[in-house]
């Protein structure tokens, strides 16, 4: 009888591997992905254990560490995988009141979910609609990280140093000086 680990899976029964189906590799959506997005998909799929689709947890920071990439590139790759129909977010990441964060959970559309058949949304690419696009930089901040002081929301003025628009009235300039009163001596 084989030993069972803490998650109830048999140890040593089979060497771990990541399976990417050959028909998926032939899809136009797969071919349109960047190499980074493809590597991220394989990394994301390595967190799938056969019964946790829809609860595949992988955040941007951890994925970036595993891929040896920057967080901004990894965010773009997550967005690309979503827009091409390979993954769907089932719950967003957040930082709890206790200071412990939870990563975003993902559903792989190539695989079944809750006893249903796989949706394979990537087959409808590039006609996929209603995919929410997240702006870059929407990650959960680290504990104790300083908050950015510049809260400028104008897209043309992100750094706060853009030229100011001309005033709607002329500026007041003082052109004369007011004489001072001089005390006379007795």
pLDDT in tens, 29-71: 999 999 999 999 999 999 998 888 999 999 999 999 999 999 9
Average pLDDT over residues 138-145: 55
Average pLDDT over residues 172-182: 61
Closest by Cα among 80, 19, 28, 83 to 48: 19
How much is the pLDDT for 101?
A: 84
Find where tokens 């591997």 sit. 17
Question: Are residues 53 and 112 in contact, defined by beta-carbon separation less than 8 angstroms?
Answer: yes
Q: pLDDT band at 27, cuts 50/70/90?
A: very high
pLDDT tens-digit series, residues 86-140: 999 998 888 888 888 888 999 999 998 888 899 999 999 887 665 554 454 555 5
- Bigger pLDDT: 1 or 77? 77
Q: Span 22-132: which CATH code?
A: 1.10.10.10
pTM of the model: 0.63
> Taking 80 as the threshold, does the pLDDT of residue 15 lie above it?
no
Question: Are residues 105 and 54 in contact, defined by beta-carbon separation less than 8 angstroms?
Answer: yes
Q: pLDDT band at 144, cuts 50/70/90?
A: low
Q: pLDDT band at 5, cuts 50/70/90?
A: low
pLDDT tens-digit series, residues 150-170: 444 555 544 555 555 555 655
Per-residue b or e along 150-165, where b marks 16 or more CB atoms closer than 10 Å to that residue's CB: eeeeeeeeeeeeeeee
How much is the pLDDT for 70?
A: 94
């Amino acid at each position: 009888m084989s030993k069972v680990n803490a998650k109830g899976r048999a140890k040593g029964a089979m060497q771990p591997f990541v399976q990417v189906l050959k028909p998926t590799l032939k899809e136009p959506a797969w071919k349109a992905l960047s190499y980074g997005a493809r590597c991220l998909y394989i990394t994301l799929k390595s967190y799938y254990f056969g019964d946790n689709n829809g609860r595949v947890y992988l955040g941007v920071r951890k994925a970036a560490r595993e891929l040896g990439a920057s967080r901004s590139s990894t965010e773009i790759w997550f967005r690309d995988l979503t827009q091409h129909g390979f993954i769907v977010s089932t719950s967003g990441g957040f930082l709890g009141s206790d200071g412990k964060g939870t990563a975003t959970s993902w559903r792989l559309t190539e695989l079944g979910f809750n006893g249903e058949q796989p949706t394979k949304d990537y087959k409808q690419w590039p006609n996929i609609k209603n995919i929410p696009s997240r702006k870059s930089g929407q990650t959960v901040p680290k504990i104790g990280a300083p908050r950015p002081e510049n809260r400028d929301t104008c897209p043309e003025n992100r750094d706060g140093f853009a030229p100011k628009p001309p005033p709607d009235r002329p500026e007041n300039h003082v052109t004369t000086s007011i004489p001072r009163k001089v005390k006379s001596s007795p």
